[in-house]
Structure 1
């Protein structure tokens, strides 16, 4: 078993990883297009990753490693170079998110990570007390990589419920908020992504203690992710899953239909122009 090399501090870890990936692919006599077909990921994602522009998930790296016959070498290098990009307690959810065919989420305070712009994500992550600039950079890169699940040939369904206050809560300056709300409007151009707004005027209190998400997987029980002030909790316990489903149902019943929700987002976006 080869030992992963220590990264050159003058070269970004993702560039090192991408170069090694490309070396193995060429050795296996595979084009990016052919490899993407074997992996069932998009060719553009393969290209971005080989150029060091995306942080690949474990699922992506395992498929890449298997396809090029690297015998685990690339997966070990990936783990060595990207360790610390996400909190340990969150990594289990990232794996679940990769395998889910449908995701349902509720957020009372800010836009969820799967729909954040890079600038918005940077400001949210920088709010963590004691975090270093290097940790911020790694965490933002990892968050942007999560969004690559929508680049797959068959991306998951995503249904998001947002508290209306998110549209008006300033995260950064007007430009950051303007771009973030435009990102929401662009996201729903995909038939696989839906966003509904829960109006503040209704005074709904369900879910105000924190956000949560539900992942539906083929052949497996649903999993839930529950946020807290310090860390999140991932569970497949039937009582937890049932409780989160019940909360989601209450919130969705209170939410505006998508076409009305999009008008609310457009109205808020104009205020940030």
Structure 2
């Protein structure tokens, strides 16, 4: 059976393109199954992005659909790119779902956080404090998770780094995770990150009279080439990906209101510095 996996942006794009070309050719999934001798589940997995189709499989369906170059060449190359292993596969046993792959390919990341500083902005010691809280008896695993989280941060150092816009609840600035020294270092790291150009940080004051964000923290990922946005939320019940237009739209509107309600970037940085000095 082909390997099942959580689709990346390229995988989602390839699945969507193949499905659209099948429909344009006027073929049903059952007709594809009959002509190629595939199982019904195989074509379903390919078109839903739940499996990585081989280049040979992609070539076969493109021939059947009558897709010619240059579109054909572009889709075959996309199929090759889907097969590439990302840096995060080194930590495949740690990641839950496809979030890191989606994050790596995003052009814009918007994050609302209530309890912790976002992973992309965490210092090693702060990350260790956060991770250790849930795994106090597994120090070896904690070390590996910290290394993995630091590897994630490389996305912000690339020449094509995504823009990162963060709204932080003021309460998390007061929570000295790992101790006062660790938290002080983390707060100054936030100040430094905000001066990098691609990172914007706003703080939502504690006294804000609003229920915005009451449903909890979330991340909104946007991509190039008109790929649809994905919203992501992580909690005790697990990881939730929200891809429907209604869900994503609600998250987008909520974030925009949180962003507008929060302090300006300048006032936010000044507040963070105040807490760091205290």
TM-score range, shorter chain: 0.5 to 0.7
1-structure distance, mates of 2:220, 2:117 = 16
1-structure distance, mates of 2:87, 2:274 = 47
The answer as to whether partners of 1:85 and 1:135 remain within 8 angstroms in 2 is no
The answer as to whether partners of 2:135 and 2:142 remain within 8 angstroms in 1 is no
2-structure distance, mates of 1:102, 1:200 = 27
Q: So what's the TM-score if we normalise by structure 1?
A: 0.67
Residue correspondence of structure 1 range 1-273 to structure 2 within 5 A: 75=85, 79=89, 82-86=91-95, 88-89=96-97, 92-128=98-134, 132-219=138-225, 220-271=227-278
Can you give the 5+ residue segments of structure 2 that lack an aligned partner in the other structure? 1-82
Deviation (angstroms), 1:76? 10
Can you give the 5+ residue segments of structure 1 that lack an aligned partner in the other structure? 1-71
What secondary structure sits across from 1:227 in the alignment?
strand
Runs ≥4 in structure 1, deviation > 6 angstroms?
Answer: none
2-structure distance, mates of 1:118, 1:154 = 24
Q: 1:238 to 1:170 in 2, by over 3 A?
A: same
2-structure distance, mates of 1:170, 1:181 = 10
Deviation (angstroms), 1:78? 7.7
Q: So what's the TM-score if we normalise by structure 2?
A: 0.66
What secondary structure sits across from 2:207 in the alignment?
helix
The answer as to whether partners of 1:111 and 1:166 remain within 8 angstroms in 2 is yes
Deviation (angstroms), 1:204? 2.7
CA offsets 1:127-182 (integer angstroms, 9 cap, x no match):
11576212211211111111000121121100000001111112011110110001
The answer as to whether partners of 2:167 and 2:204 remain within 8 angstroms in 1 is yes
Q: 1:77 to 1:157 in 2, by over 3 A?
A: closer
CA offsets 1:52-111 (integer angstroms, 9 cap, x no match):
xxxxxxxxxxxxxxxxxxxx8x949984x533232x23xx11111111111100001110
Q: 1:129 to 1:230 in 2, by over 3 A?
A: farther
1-structure distance, mates of 2:258, 2:87 = 43
